[in-house]
């Protein structure tokens, strides 16, 4: 009986992995008939709101420049009819009433929106858009250039992906928000996603090559209409963009909620944060580091080495009270299953992640305008070490600026704790405007939009608290 139960483990894991695969690749795609609703709208009170697709075939998301956001769903199923009336909740809430309302004209660029009891009417902005393909390493990648209709040259941002598998050309709302604020955008589907060829990967060297090729294509398309062309992206893009900027001329690099240390460090810092939140101190953290060092060696070897050390820390600490609190990016899973299960399934489920990649050399090479926007309560990429590393680089790179939103989580979103879980409520106030202003002006006074600013001024940096 024990053998049968043991053999069930990899079977169950394989089923779970297949379920995850089916979920990722068969998540309902946006209803193409709603694409005419996507865009930036000028409201009658002078503000701008962006409408973009959300998860689910007919779901939408609205985002104001001040960070207020919500998810909208059709108010009722209408058979084969295209829904025009929607209702939704604030932020990323999944339960409770739906106080926000929206209705759209029949693809005529008009809308009515009611948010927090205030009603607005809006008209969609017109942009110049061009779909293109470009090649890199023998693959065809799909991109879209979106340009504002303004006189004279404008800055152009190449939007670099995080780790998502969704099509950036479909989902990235900045392709509407930036042009509505006088910034051109080149969005592209990274390899293995959307309409681009290839296999999905998290190999930063390949992805940075693709990003460099995207910037070259954007510069070619825009020509004299570009005042400058640079990178913008969040999360995993923090590893990719600076590396890409060593391979192509990038006039600026803007990173949101990324890490200036390796992906292995991301797991380690998440483990430490979980233990601190559970009330454990430095002594336990030091012991936990032995575990993350061991799991990191296994991960970096693609499950070919390091298992003796992993067995040793399991035996050493498995009886400790804090042991069960370890989660992280992968360490908790490594402790939960025997080595042979990890060796069997690990390589199958891997996506080529550059686990031991050190981003600091690329950060030191790039000399152009460079902004990092960090989240002070980032649960996915704890920012304390990144702040320290960036400050060290900043000492010799006056063009490097750092803004911290102290109460924000990953994505620069504010959150509430509900039933023990974080629920994102909005984007941090000032975040979206900060990106727009920085791309336009690169001015420290403008960057002071953020709650805490490290702008290369030693006196100011010394008094700021991350």
The 10s digit of each residue's pLDDT in 430-443 is: 999 999 999 999 87
Band (228; pLDDT cuts 50, 70, 90): very high
- Note whether residue 315 is domain-resident: no
Determine the angle formed by the axes of helices 237-244 and 204-222, rounding to 10 degrees. Answer: 60
Average pLDDT, the chain: 89
How, if at all, do strands 118-124 and 110-115 pair?
Answer: antiparallel
β strands within 239-395, DSSP E: 253-256, 370-375
- Note whether residue 389 is domain-resident: no
The HSE-up count of residue 97 (CA atoms within 13 Å, CB side) is 5
Note the pLDDT tens digit of each residue in 290-326.
Answer: 999 999 999 999 999 999 999 999 999 999 999 999 9
H-assigned helices in 371-442: 384-394, 431-441
Contact by Cβ (8 Å): 284, 271: no
Is the pLDDT at 165 greater than 70, yes or no? yes
> Using the 8-state DSSP alphabet, how is residue 158 labeled?
E
- Note whether residue 58 is domain-resident: yes
Structural domain containing residue 65: 39-124
Band (27; pLDDT cuts 50, 70, 90): low
Q: 83: part of which helix (H) or strand (E)?
A: none
Distance CA 453, CA 103 (A): 39
Polymer length of the chain: 466
And the tokens for 252?
Answer: 């600026």
Structural domain tally of the chain? 1
- Note whether residue 259 is domain-resident: no
End-to-end CA distance of the chain: 54
Distance CA 73, CA 88 (A): 6
What is the strand order of the sheet 128-136 is part of?
128-136, 139-147, 184-188, 154-160, 226-234, 253-256, 370-375, 400-405, 452-454
Helix, strand, coil shares, percent, the chain, to 5: 40, 25, 35
More confident of the two residues 375 and 447: 375
- Note whether residue 317 is domain-resident: no
More confident of the two residues 368 and 455: 368
Determine the angle formed by the axes of helices 339-349 and 307-317, rounding to 10 degrees. Answer: 130
And the tokens for 182?
Answer: 């006088």
And the tokens for 49?
Answer: 């709101």
pLDDT at site 116: 80
Distance CA 95, CA 116 (A): 17
> How far is CA 350 from its chain centroid?
20
Is the pLDDT at 420 greater than 50, yes or no? yes
Distance CA 304, CA 350 (A): 13
What mean pLDDT do residues 254-269 have? Answer: 93
- Secondary structure in 3-state letters for 208-237: HHHHHHHHHHHHHHHHHHEEEEEEEEECCH
Strand, helix or coil for residue 449: coil
- Note whether residue 62 is domain-resident: yes
pLDDT at site 56: 87
Contact by Cβ (8 Å): 185, 49: no
C-alpha distances out from residue 227 to 156, 283, 436, 437, Å: 8, 53, 15, 15
- Note whether residue 70 is domain-resident: yes
pLDDT at site 447: 46
Note the pLDDT tens digit of each residue in 46-81.
Answer: 999 999 999 889 999 999 999 999 999 999 766 678
Contact by Cβ (8 Å): 25, 199: no
And the tokens for 304?
Answer: 């070919």
Residue 313 has φ and ψ, to the nearest 5°, of -75, -30
Nearest to 412 by CA among 361, 451, 460: 451
Distance CA 147, CA 132 (A): 14
- CB neighbour burial string for 312-322, b if at least 16 within 10 angstroms, e if fewer: ebbeebeeeeb
pLDDT at site 456: 38
pLDDT at site 289: 96
- Note whether residue 375 is domain-resident: no
Contact by Cβ (8 Å): 337, 298: no
Band (444; pLDDT cuts 50, 70, 90): low
Contact by Cβ (8 Å): 41, 51: yes
Note the pLDDT tens digit of each residue in 191-201.
Answer: 999 999 999 99
Distance CA 242, CA 371 (A): 11
Is the pLDDT at 5 greater than 80, yes or no? no
More confident of the two residues 173 and 444: 173
Burial (0-12, 13-18, 19+ Cβ within 10 Å), 355 = buried
What mean pLDDT do residues 176-193 have? Answer: 98
Is the pLDDT at 14 greater than 70, yes or no? no
Of the listed ranges 133-137, 248-252, 253-257, 273-277, the least confidently predicted one is 273-277
């Amino acid at each position: 009986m024990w053998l049968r139960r043991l053999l069930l483990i990899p079977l169950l894991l394989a089923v779970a992995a297949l379920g995850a695969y089916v979920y990722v690749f068969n998540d309902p795609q946006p209803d193409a008939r709603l694409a005419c609703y996507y865009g930036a709208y000028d409201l009658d009170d002078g503000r701008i709101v962006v409408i973009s697709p959300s998860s689910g075939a007919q779901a939408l998301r609205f985002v104001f420049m001040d960070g207020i956001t919500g998810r909208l769903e059709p108010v009722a199923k209408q058979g084969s009819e295209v829904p025009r009336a929607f209702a939704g909740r604030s932020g990323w809430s999944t339960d409770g009433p739906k106080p926000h309302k929206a209705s759209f004209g029949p693809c005529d660029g008009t809308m009515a929106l009611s948010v927090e009891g205030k009603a607005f009417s809006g008209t969609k902005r017109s942009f110049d858009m061009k779909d293109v393909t470009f090649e890199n390493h023998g693959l065809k990648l799909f991109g879209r250039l979106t340009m504002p209709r303004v006189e004279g040259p404008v800055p152009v941002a190449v939007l670099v992906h995080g780790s998502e598998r969704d099509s950036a050309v479909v989902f990235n709302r900045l392709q509407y928000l930036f042009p509505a604020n006088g910034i051109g955008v080149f969005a592209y589907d990274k390899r293995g996603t959307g309409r681009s060829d290839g296999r999905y990967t998290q190999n930063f060297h390949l992805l940075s090559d693709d990003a460099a090729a995207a910037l070259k294509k954007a510069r070619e398309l825009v020509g004299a209409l570009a005042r400058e062309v640079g990178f913008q992206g969040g999360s995993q893009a923090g590893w990719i963009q600076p590396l890409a900027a060593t391979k192509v001329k990038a006039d600026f690099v803007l990173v949101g909620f990324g890490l200036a240390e390796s992906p292995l460090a991301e797991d380690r810092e998440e483990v430490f944060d979980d233990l601190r939140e559970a009330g454990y101190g430095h002594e336990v953290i030091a012991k936990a580091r032995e575990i993350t060092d061991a799991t990191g060696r296994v991960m970096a070897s693609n499950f070919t080495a390091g298992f003796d050390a992993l067995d040793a820390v399991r035996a050493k600490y498995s009886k400790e009270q804090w042991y069960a609190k370890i989660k992280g990016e992968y360490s908790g899973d490594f402790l939960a299953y025997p080595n042979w299960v990890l060796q069997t399934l690990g390589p199958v489920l891997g996506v080529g992640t550059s686990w031991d990649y050190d981003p600091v050399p690329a950060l030191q090479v790039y000399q152009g305008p460079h902004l990092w926007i960090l989240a002070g309560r980032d649960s996915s990429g704890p920012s304390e070490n990144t702040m320290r590393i960036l400050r060290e680089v900043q000492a010799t790179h006056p063009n490097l600026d750092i803004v911290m939103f102290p109460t924000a989580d990953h994505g620069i979103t504010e959150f509430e704790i509900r039933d023990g879980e974080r629920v994102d409520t909005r984007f941090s106030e000032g975040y979206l405007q900060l990106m727009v202003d920085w791309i336009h002006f690169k001015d420290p006074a403008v960057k002071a939009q953020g709650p805490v600013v490290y702008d290369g001024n030693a006196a100011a940096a010394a008094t700021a608290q991350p």
